[in-house]
Amino acid sequence: MTFWALLVLILLLSALVAYLGDKVAKWAGKRHYRLFGLRPRQTATLVAVLTGVGIALFSYLGFLLVFREARETILEAEAIRQERDRLKVEREDLLRAKEALEAEAARVLAEVTALRTERKELQEALEAAEALRRRREAELRDLEARLKVLQGQVEGLKGRLWALEEEKVRLSALLSARERALAEREKALRSLAEAAREAELEAKRRREERARLEADLALLQARLREAQRERQALKAEAEAAQARLEESRAELRRTEERVRALLQQAEVLQGERGQLAQRLARLSQGLPLGEVRLGAEEGRVALERAAERRALLQGFRGAELLLEEEVRGPGVAVLEGAGYREGRLLVRARFYPERRAFAAREVLASATFRLSTPARHREVLEGLGEEARRKLLGAGFPPEYATFPSPEELARGLALLEGRRGVARVGVVAVQDLRTSERPLLAFQLLGGPPGPEVPVPTREVR
């Protein structure tokens, strides 16, 4: 029922309440009724008020019985509200989990990048340490070769020193002999003075040469000790470099293990992220977004606005409408989710143009059968409902509208057959004109006329 029709109905009911209240009040006032000890005028006012309340109550009950959509909306409002709150909470949980996973993945990727950089630096430091070790080993080999040469020179100098010592001993013996000869030959002092001076000069020269050789030997010994200290320092430096190399290798192995573990964790997180995206895509597939009624000359733009608004209410960043062909109202479009891409919901629209499918009181399905048990009655009524649904779908109604019979309609149809005997002809009848853009209002009714082919023998109609 449209808004203006509902407004007219409310105005008529208000006029009826006012008219009947006035009539009842006048009627009660003329008869001077007294209720609860009140005066007639007060009694008439109370009767008018109670009459208005009763008429309003019966109007509300009639409204609920006639308009099934309003009744279902009122009765199911709390369940729909709870379902909406639950879906909102679930959506917020999924969004928080998604944000946490994306932050964790970004942190892991940053840490992996830092570890790769650190690994590269350690590799460069390791290569530099290896080059330094090779250079130190080459210098150590050079120093060992020089040490061998110096040791050979020292051995030669030691031989010369022994020769000089022997020469010294010989010269000392000769000097003693000469001194004895000089003492014996004091008379030949003048002749031998020159020879003595020459011998003394030779001895002085020999002593100077010996001092020079001793100084050279001390210098060579100092250089040998310095070479030994340098060799020990180089050996200690090489050992320290080897220890640092081993420590760097161990740290590199630990770093590689951490990198592998982080890569595995990143792969796991990537898999979980993919699973979350797949789950979100599965949830978005077939997600009902309701119907959109299009007026005359309304089309894709109105559908895009409605899809965008309902996708935002569902927690998505927006909506992308999928239409295989252009639509133009009047009619009704049923929106449903068709996937998920880059935070936007893909929305598919099924459009049903508005047209009159069945006239009021038209029979969509009927059956004549022998009355027996309630189970048999239920089976027949459900078969009629299935046939009516097929006709509705064939006439162009959305599948969401072809939901006859509801449990209330089925119970009402069973109540029609309760207590009857013999044969009955039951049909599914359109209560009003059925249009493809509105939910059809159908009801079970007993039909007149002769028995149908379902009953093989003539029987009278059941009233």
**Mean of the pLDDT values across residues 247-263?**
77
Q: Is the pLDDT assigned to residue 460 strictly greater than 60? A: no
How far out from the chain centre does Cα 57 lie?
Answer: 53
**Mean of the pLDDT values across residues 307-325?**
80
Q: How far apart are CA 157 and CA 43, in angstroms?
A: 152
What are the structure tokens assigned to 4, written together? Answer: 């203006």
Q: Is the pLDDT assigned to residue 273 strictly greater than 70? A: no
Number of compact structural domains in the chain: 4
Residues 181 and 211 in one domain: yes
CB 425 within 8 A of CB 413: no
Q: List, in sequence order, every residue forming a beta bridge with 352; answer none if it has no partner.
A: 332
Q: What is the pLDDT of residues 124-144, one digit of tens each?
A: 888 887 888 888 788 878 877
Residues 120 and 188 in one domain: yes
Q: Is the pLDDT assigned to residue 224 strictly greater than 90? A: no
Q: pLDDT tier at 383 (50, 70, 90 boundaries)?
A: very high
Q: Which residue has the higher pLDDT, 33 or 157?
A: 157
Residues 116 and 171 in one domain: yes
CB 383 within 8 A of CB 338: no
Residues 119 and 215 in one domain: yes
Residues 36 and 163 in one domain: no
- Does any domain span residue 35? yes
Q: Is the pLDDT assigned to residue 387 strictly greater than 80? A: yes
Q: What is the extent of the structural domain holding 369?
A: 356-446
Q: How far apart are CA 105 and CA 98, in angstroms?
A: 10
Highest mean pLDDT among 90-104, 218-232, 242-256, 341-355: 90-104
Domain CATH number, residue 210: 1.10.287
Strand, coil or helix: 367:
strand
Q: List, in sequence order, every residue forming a beta bridge with 428; answer none if it has no partner.
A: 365, 444
CB 444 within 8 A of CB 426: yes
Residues 38 and 115 in one domain: no
- Does any domain span residue 455? no
Q: pLDDT tier at 458 (50, 70, 90 boundaries)?
A: very low
Q: Which residue has the higher pLDDT, 39 or 112?
A: 112
CB 116 within 8 A of CB 124: no
**Mean of the pLDDT values across residues 67-83?**
69
Phi (first) and psi of residue 420, to 5 degrees: -90, 160
Crossing angle, helix 77-184 and helix 189-284, to 10 degrees? 170
Residues 126 and 261 in one domain: yes
Residues 441 and 370 in one domain: yes
Percent of the chain with pLDDT over 90: 6
Residues 347 and 360 in one domain: no
Residues 156 and 56 in one domain: no
Q: Is the pLDDT assigned to residue 194 strictly greater than 80? A: no
Residues 30 and 41 in one domain: yes
pLDDT value at residue 195: 63
Residues 363 and 394 in one domain: yes
